[in-house]
Amino acid sequence: MSSSVNVANENGVAIVIIDNPPVNALSFHVRKPLYEALAALRDDPGAKAIVIACAGRTFVAGADITEFGKPVEQPELRAIIALLETVPKPTVAAIHGTALGGGLELALGCHFRVADRGAKLGLPEVKLGLLPGGGGTVRLPRLVGAAKALGMIVSGTPISAGEAKAAGLVDAVVDSDLLAEAIRFAGEMADRGGPFVPVRDRNNRLAETDLSAFDAQAAELAKKARGLDAPRACAEAVRNAITLPFDEALAAERQLFLKLVSGDQSRAQRHLFFAEREAAKIPGKDLQKRTVSRVGIIGAGTMGGGIAMAFANGGLQVTLLETSDEALRRGLATIEKNYIVSVSRGSLTEEAKRQRLGLFKGSTDYTDLADCDLIVEAVFEDMAVKKEVFGKLGAIAKPGAILATNTSYLDVDEIAASTSRPQDLLGMHFFSPANVMKLLEIVRAEKTAPEVLATVTDLARRIGKVAVVVGVCHGFVGNRMLSARGSENEFLLLEGATPGEVDKAFTDFGWPMGPFQMGDLAGLDIGWRNRKARGQTAVIADTLCEQGHFGQKTGRGWYRYEAGAREPVADPEVEALIRAKAAERGIARREIGAEEIIERTLYPLVNEGAKILEEGVAGRASDIDVVWVNGYGFPIGKGGPMFWAGLAGAGNIVERLEHWHRQTGRAIFEPAAMLRRFAETGSWESAGGAR
């Protein structure tokens, strides 16, 4: 046998062990020996039953994603499953860790599934822009019913072993010694005798389906798909399982899979899957990490409270520091209220809430931070205030404690210079609400020690964040590019577009909302304050703010909002203001199409990304994609701005930037050298963009 697949026999039960670290993906070098082993065991009189299990930390986590887009080597997964279904003796999948995608499909090819209590089972292909292509859409509904299968396949969210048992997906859940229990189960089934019916022939659950209720559920899910093809294809495939004979439905699934796997959306989503994992790979990541078990947070406002919750959610102890008892009480009360809401929504158990609240300690005394391994300041965004905080921390924090500033814009090197231990300091730029948003920009300052960076990168993963290491510059990666994206917004309005037209171009592109809706949601006063602090002005937005139009919270901003509603309504007064400002400047307004809006907002976004790459503020183009998808809502089906630049044609982007540069003279349009090289070479890496 190959080392990827090993076979043993215990009391007449054959055990096939897949061993393909790290996650037992079904690569070609697994599929071939697996097929051969099963073919041999099918006809082996010495094997009365077959158990398929995995070595290492998990059952099969799916097809090998790195093989997509390359010619398929035989045997395919579908052939292995088809072979399994011809085995006349009982076949049992012994599931620990995760049975995902092709892994669960392999298990569905078995007669029975025995799972460890901690196991998770799911078909997450949709998250890669795919549908289950190994018969998952036709077999899963036969076990759990069409409605449950639809929910699992369209969401891609795995379920627990307990839930899988209740749904009919697994036959037994065991608390310990999974393999021994699975062998015992298989032996018992063999002794009891057949016939053993493959899942493909179990039609009872499907026959119960209420097709109109199914269609209503599918239509509801399709509404949330926002331009993505995979969720719709998933629903179509499950519907086929209800309405078509098994083999026809299976063939239709294959066609849908082939179309998706060769499409740009799935390429983009697969790119993001690897990009997120790549982002965690930093120089020095194998260094000895510092231990972090207690985290101090300075400031219990919205940001500090959210950060504190993020750490508590990851099981860390938290000391929350405020300047007064009153502010501390308010901060802790908000945290408790947030957890109560989670319990009422069913996303947190009462017990987990109690445990998390038990991790908090409040204080108004800096010396209480002395036992913290990491201290994150989340005070007012003001250099002098931050420097004062770090001045104090220098005297209080224990030796080796990591010091972090949660800043969105400020110079972390300058902050580091205010402490006696700059090697221990870095930036942690959380996104609001910090307990919900997945993105964390970790800002590496000039003197940050490599093991400090490695420790915080690991810690970010522990608390469920997608972390990207960035360098120091105004706004780091995300906010610096955001300001490039928005720099033409007011010009577009003055020259003829309405906020609604700009926002529609964005939502048609796939963004959850456009920049004006976003501004109204965040509050226009925030940008106004920032502009005033930096001596900048905005022709229209400043006037709106002077009139008290701060966005949703005041019922008026770029749009009107009916009492209590979040739905934006075009505001004729805002449009009149825009016309008046244009007239004052002698600008003749004209019709502006979606294409021009994209060229003047998203091309500068890409251009700024290229500059960031050139300066080394981001290490990889894919890191920038991770930032934009996880922190700013860039459509996942387009893979992030840098990946999308390839789809849109970098040569075309350069050409149009040059055009707008000639027209306006504005530096934002001047193509970056790195972007030009990308246009010539076809990859960011060969343009010199990777570390």
Q: Annotated active-site positions, please?
A: 105, 125
Which among 278, 324, 284 is positioned nearest to 301, based on CA atoms? Answer: 324
Is residue 102 within 8 Å of 124, Cβ to Cβ? Answer: no
What torsion do the CA atoms of 454, 457, 463, 467 make, to the nearest 10 degrees?
A: 180
Which stretches of the chain bind ligand 3H9, using CB under 6 A?
Answer: 22-23, 25, 58, 61-66, 77, 98, 100-102, 105, 124-125, 128, 130, 132-134, 136, 274, 277
Three-state helix/strand/coil letters over 639-681: CCHHHHHHHHCHHHHHHHHHHHHHHHCCHHHCCCHHHHHHHHH
Which among 71, 73, 152, 66 is positioned nearest to 105, based on CA atoms? Answer: 152
Cβ proximity to ligand 3H9: between 23 and 174 the closer is 23
Alpha-carbon distances of 542 from 233, 500, 525, 549, rounded to whole Å: 46, 19, 9, 10
Cβ proximity to ligand 3H9: between 62 and 641 the closer is 62
Cβ proximity to ligand 3H9: between 58 and 622 the closer is 58
Smallest separation (angstroms) from ligand 3H9 to the CB of 95: 13
What CA–CA distance (Å, rounded) separates 616 from 691?
A: 8
Smallest separation (angstroms) from ligand 3H9 to the CB of 32: 15
Smallest separation (angstroms) from ligand 3H9 to the CB of 209: 22
DSSP state of 391: H
Smallest separation (angstroms) from ligand 3H9 to the CB of 103: 7
Is residue 17 within 8 Å of 5, Cβ to Cβ? Answer: yes
Tell me the sheet residues that pair with 156.
Answer: none
Smallest separation (angstroms) from ligand 3H9 to the CB of 325: 41
Smallest separation (angstroms) from ligand 3H9 to the CB of 129: 10
Cβ proximity to ligand 3H9: between 250 and 502 the closer is 250
The position carrying tokens 């080394």 is 616
170-177: long-range contacts at Cβ-Cβ below 8 A with a sequence spacing of 24 or more?
Answer: 170/95, 170/113, 170/114, 170/115, 170/121, 171/112, 171/113, 171/114, 172/112, 172/114, 172/115, 173/114, 173/115, 173/116, 173/117, 174/114, 174/115, 174/116, 174/117, 175/117
Smallest separation (angstroms) from ligand 3H9 to the CB of 3: 18
Amino acid, single-letter form, for residue 360: F
Cβ proximity to ligand 3H9: between 206 and 279 the closer is 279
What torsion do the CA atoms of 440, 620, 284, 21 make, to the nearest 10 degrees?
A: 90
